[in-house]
Structure 1
Amino acid sequence: MDLRLPRVFLHGLLPVAVLFGGAATLPSRAQGSSDAGSKGAQVYCFMRGAGNNHQVSWDAAYALIKRQSASLFKTSPEHGAVMITEAVVQNPGTYPDCGRFLGYLYAKPQADAGSATSPDSPRPSSGMTREQRYSY
């Protein structure tokens, strides 16, 4: 009678898939990312369609994306904008008339003639410094 342990038990280690009941039960990063992007797109498009301005809609959608993302790392604002865009482009019927708002996700704030040009100075459109904007 052979009492050797199966290969998965060698060296006292179990593969992660065995510990969690198989790889199918583990959420994939891509799935979590697309879910967060879809939810962010829902919030952004609904708020814009209801008459809210870009900044308010973006702040709400980005906050949701940061909390819903399955990644170990925080989602950057640039990646959040891409996630919303991908969700809208992949399902245009789900987000009717939202395509006209997507450009605002990528628009650079216009500097006033009298504003300072320092990278740390507040931007006229948001009133935030560079450090505040990226302090996620």
Structure 2
Amino acid sequence: MPGLVLLTGPLPVLSQPNPSDPGTKGAEVYCFMRKAGNDHDVSWNAAYALIKRQGSSLFKTSPEHAAVMITEAVVNSPEAFPDCGRFMGALYGGDKPVPLRTDIPANGSTGPVPIPSGGGTTRHDRYSY
């Protein structure tokens, strides 16, 4: 019969988070606090403190690695962290407010805006993640 597919192996199991994994615990704290209305800094500090304390490594977990651990936990088990994906960008600097632009002409013209010399974004600023 065309179109009939027989399954010969077990059905795939949805990925369940490992409750003892520090990344999972950090994701639980971070996502819970963000959904409760806390800002990124407060939520991040709580989650990072938990990850550092719960980690079994000989070396201290870096903030970058902790952010990756939280992201992996959320991506691997999105059903365990519903709506938390919208907060993940903040772990990588996406939640920082954009500075107020003061170089827009007062007359409302949309022409080119001169770039001030001696300032602006440096290579370090651009890649400081």
TM-score (norm 2): 0.59
Percent identity for Structure 1 against Structure 2? 68
Partner residue, 1:74: 60
Q: CA deviation at 1:110?
A: 5.9
Partner residue, 2:23: 37
Partner residue, 2:38: 52
Taking the aligned partners of 2:92 and 2:83, their CA distance within structure 1 comes to 17
Structure 1: state its 5+ residue gaps.
1-31, 118-136
Aligned pairs, how many?
A: 85
Taking the aligned partners of 1:90 and 1:81, their CA distance within structure 2 comes to 14
Q: CA deviation at 1:75?
A: 0.2
Taking the aligned partners of 1:62 and 1:44, their CA distance within structure 2 comes to 9
Counterpart amino acid of residue 45 in structure 1: C
Q: 1:52 to 1:110 in 2, by over 3 A?
A: closer
Counterpart amino acid of residue 69 in structure 2: M
CA-atom RMSD in angstroms: 2.7
Alpha-carbon deviations, 1:65-93, whole Å to 9, x = none? 00001100000000000000000000000
Counterpart amino acid of residue 75 in structure 2: V
Structure 2: state its 5+ residue gaps.
1-17, 101-119, 121-129
Counterpart amino acid of residue 101 in structure 1: F
Residue 85 in structure 1 maps to residue 98 in structure 2: no
TM-score (norm 1): 0.56
- Runs of 4+ in structure 1 over 3 Å off: 108-113
Out of 82, 86, 108, the residue aligned to residue 96 of structure 1 is: 82
Alpha-carbon deviations, 1:50-72, whole Å to 9, x = none? 01000000000000000001100
Q: CA deviation at 1:112?
A: 5.5
Taking the aligned partners of 2:97 and 2:31, their CA distance within structure 1 comes to 23
